[in-house]
């Protein structure tokens, strides 16, 4: 939400860096276009895009509705594509840039009760691999991070019984930490990944 975004930007500024929070609705094409234009006007050409927006809810597939499925696909798959399309021309013009898409291990191996979410994230993984091939001639790196079960507000809403079962299935016997996912994103966004593209990195404690 806006309060969290503003607080995060303020925390970054307190560390001596520049940060600005801008609100965007990743399910709305006009909002994404406005965000991309505003960001580039304020910051100049974009060097790194991290598609980190995502949302899901555990429920049996047969209980889902087209409206619910549409929201899942719009936020987890179509939104990242729209934002990439809006920012790629500037990267292509300068023949450099990095895109890091955050998908999910659900998109790699499936997830009970998250069938459509897994499908959307699987689509994001395939999109990553294909876009990496298409933009390699412009020296643009496109990679994907796939978190496993991670200690986030969404996970806090999961029933304890389900959470305990997940932890028992993870070889490290604990949930991931958000900062551990961030470390993987930073690697793909940094100079150490200059010759890496089209790759998928699972951050899941061995799950």
Which sequence positions are flagged as catalytic? 117
Residue 144 has which token pair? 């994907």
Our measurement of the distance from residue 190's CA atom to the centroid of its chain's CA atoms, rounded to an integer in Å, reads 16
Q: Which residue has the tokens 């029933």?
A: 159
Dmax over CA atoms of the chain, in Å, equals 51
Residue 134: strand, helix, or coil: helix
Residue 167: what are its φ and ψ, rounded to 5°? -65, -40
**Element containing residue 35 per DSSP (H, E):** helix 29-43
Residues linked to residue 142 through DSSP beta bridges, in sequence order: 99
Contact 84, 36 (CB under 8 A): no
136's CB contacts (< 8 A; 6+ apart) are 197, 198
**Which pairing describes strands 48-51 and 97-102: parallel, antiparallel, or unpaired?**
parallel
Query: Cα–Cα distance between 146 and 150 in angstroms, integer?
Result: 11
């Amino acid at each position: 939400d806006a309060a969290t975004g503003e607080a995060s930007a303020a925390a970054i500024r307190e560390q001596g860096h520049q940060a600005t929070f801008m609100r965007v609705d990743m399910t709305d094409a006009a909002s994404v276009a406005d965000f991309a234009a505003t960001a580039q006007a304020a910051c100049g050409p974009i060097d790194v895009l991290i598609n980190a927006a995502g949302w899901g809810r555990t429920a049996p597939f047969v209980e889902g509705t087209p409206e619910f499925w549409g929201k899942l696909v719009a936020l987890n798959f179509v939104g990242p594509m729209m934002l990439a399309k809006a920012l790629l021309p500037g990267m292509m013009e300068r023949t450099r840039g990095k895109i890091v898409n955050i998908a999910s291990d659900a998109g790699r191996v499936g997830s009970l009760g998250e069938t459509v979410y897994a499908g959307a994230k699987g689509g994001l993984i395939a999109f990553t691999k294909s876009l990496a091939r298409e933009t390699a001639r412009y020296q643009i790196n496109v990679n994907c991070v796939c978190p496993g079960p991670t200690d986030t507000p969404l996970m806090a809403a999961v029933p304890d019984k389900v959470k305990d079962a997940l932890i028992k299935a993870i070889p490290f016997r604990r949930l991931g930490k958000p900062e551990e996912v961030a470390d993987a994103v930073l690697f793909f966004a940094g100079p150490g990944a200059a010759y890496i593209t089209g790759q998928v990195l699972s951050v899941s404690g061995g799950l």
